[in-house]
């Protein structure tokens, strides 16, 4: 079964604090600056007509140390919709900017907003929705921990808390920081899978790694992953492994295993012949089958 790579990202840049000579071991707070001790991320992944849909809500508490105004930047997926930015309970007007945010899976566009005057204590909440993209094999969703590649707030430590809710049919779940596997808690609540994860930065250092979640989905348990079934118009909620959508004499499951097209009778797997496995894709032109490609796999005896 193919894996679904799920990735989600959030970025926040506050204010560049000045370098101060002679700070010493006491680590006094640079002035002016903002202090962001934690970030809290809630993600809900659910099936949609396109495959899967994600709703992301990020909550970021700040303490202000003599900042009069700040401009904050935030990356969102290119197809994000219902984007909302709030300071405490008040809506903030945001605009699209030319800045980009680099992740391990490529660059993201960004939005920005200004806060002036800056309260002593405030909470920024950013939410958005988007469809998960798929190449027919995998879905993708990413979140940048601590937004540390650009974040210039001050904190002794920054804690990131992530809670991800996904359908019960998701399996083989793995979590990575960049490309390194990491531990997480997994429970079930109300027929949903809930992934919980907390990450702490090193002392006086930001969090800089992207959080990546991978999982498999096979809603109907027929051995064919949802992305592949969705790509070829099969039923994600009904076992149709033994069906023959294109009437070529091969089941949908056989077409999946061979990598052929279950909607095209001219694209089909071929059984073993004299110890050699053949798989070819043929195109019918005026009733004549023309071989496009042949793959030979020698059997070991």
Q: Identify whether residues 141 and 203 lie together within a single domain.
A: yes
Q: pLDDT tens, 168-178?
A: 777 677 777 77
- CATH code of the domain in which 173 resides: 2.60.40
For residue 138, tell me if it sits in a domain.
yes
105 domain-assigned: yes
The count of other CB atoms within 10 Å of the CB of residue 281 is 19
Do 272 and 196 fall within a single domain? no
Please provide the average confidence, as pLDDT, over all residues in the chain.
Answer: 74
Residue 233 lies in a domain: no
Strand, helix or coil at 247?
A: coil
Domain membership of residue 223 (yes or no) is no
Domain enclosing residue 78, as ranges: 4-217
Q: How many structural domains is the chain composed of?
A: 2
* Whether residues 198 and 264 fall in one domain: no
Half-sphere exposure of 16 toward its Cβ, with a 13 Å CA cutoff?
A: 4
Mean pLDDT of 162-186: 80
Greatest Cα-to-Cα distance within the chain, rounded to the nearest angstrom: 84
- Supply the pLDDT for residue 81: 95
**Does 283 lie in the same domain as 176?**
no
Q: Per the domain annotation, does 227 fall within a domain? A: no
Domain-embedded: residue 235: no
CB 41 within 8 A of CB 84: no
Q: Long-range contact list for 220-225, CB < 8 A, 24+ apart?
A: 221/169, 222/253, 223/1, 223/253, 223/256, 224/252, 224/253, 224/256, 225/1, 225/2, 225/4, 225/137
The tens digit of pLDDT for each residue in 201-211 reads 666 556 667 77
- Name the CA radius of gyration of the chain, rounded: 25
Q: What is the pLDDT of residues 254-300, one digit of tens each?
A: 888 888 999 998 888 876 444 444 444 444 433 333 333 333 333 33
Cα dist. 156→28, 63, 259, 292 in Å?
10, 13, 52, 62
Residue 241 lies in a domain: no
Under a CB-based contact definition with an 8 Å cutoff, are residues 14 and 70 in contact?
A: yes
Question: pTM of the predicted model, to two decimals?
Answer: 0.68
């Amino acid at each position: 079964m193919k894996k679904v790579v799920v990735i989600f990202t959030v970025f926040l840049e506050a204010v560049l604090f000045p370098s101060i000579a002679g700070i010493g071991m006491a680590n006094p707070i640079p002035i002016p600056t903002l202090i962001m001790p934690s970030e809290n991320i809630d993600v809900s992944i659910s099936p949609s007509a396109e495959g899967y849909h994600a709703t992301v809500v990020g909550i970021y508490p700040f303490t202000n140390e003599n900042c009069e105004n700040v401009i904050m930047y935030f990356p969102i997926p290119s197809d994000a919709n219902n984007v909302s930015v709030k300071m405490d309970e008040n809506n903030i007007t945001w605009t699209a900017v030319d800045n980009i945010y680099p992740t391990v899976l490529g660059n993201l566009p960004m939005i920005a907003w200004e806060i002036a005057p800056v309260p002593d204590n405030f909470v920024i909440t950013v939410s958005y929705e988007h469809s998960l993209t798929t190449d027919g094999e995998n879905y993708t969703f990413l979140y940048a921990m601590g937004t540390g590649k650009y974040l210039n707030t001050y904190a002794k430590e920054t804690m990131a808390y992530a809670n991800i809710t996904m359908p019960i049919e998701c399996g083989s779940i793995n979590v990575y920081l960049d490309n390194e596997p990491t531990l997480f808690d997994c429970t079930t609540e109300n027929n949903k899978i809930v992934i919980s994860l907390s990450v702490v930065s090193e002392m006086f250092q930001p969090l800089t790694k992207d959080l990546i979640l991978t999982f498999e989905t096979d809603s109907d348990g027929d051995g064919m992953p949802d992305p592949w079934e969705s790509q070829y118009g099969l039923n994600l909620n009904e076992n149709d492994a033994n069906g023959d959508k294109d009437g070529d004499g091969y089941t949908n499951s056989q077409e999946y295993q061979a990598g052929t097209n279950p909607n095209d009778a001219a694209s089909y797997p071929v059984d073993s012949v004299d110890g050699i496995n053949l798989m070819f894709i043929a195109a019918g032109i005026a009733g004549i089958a023309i071989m496009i490609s042949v793959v030979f796999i020698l059997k070991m005896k």
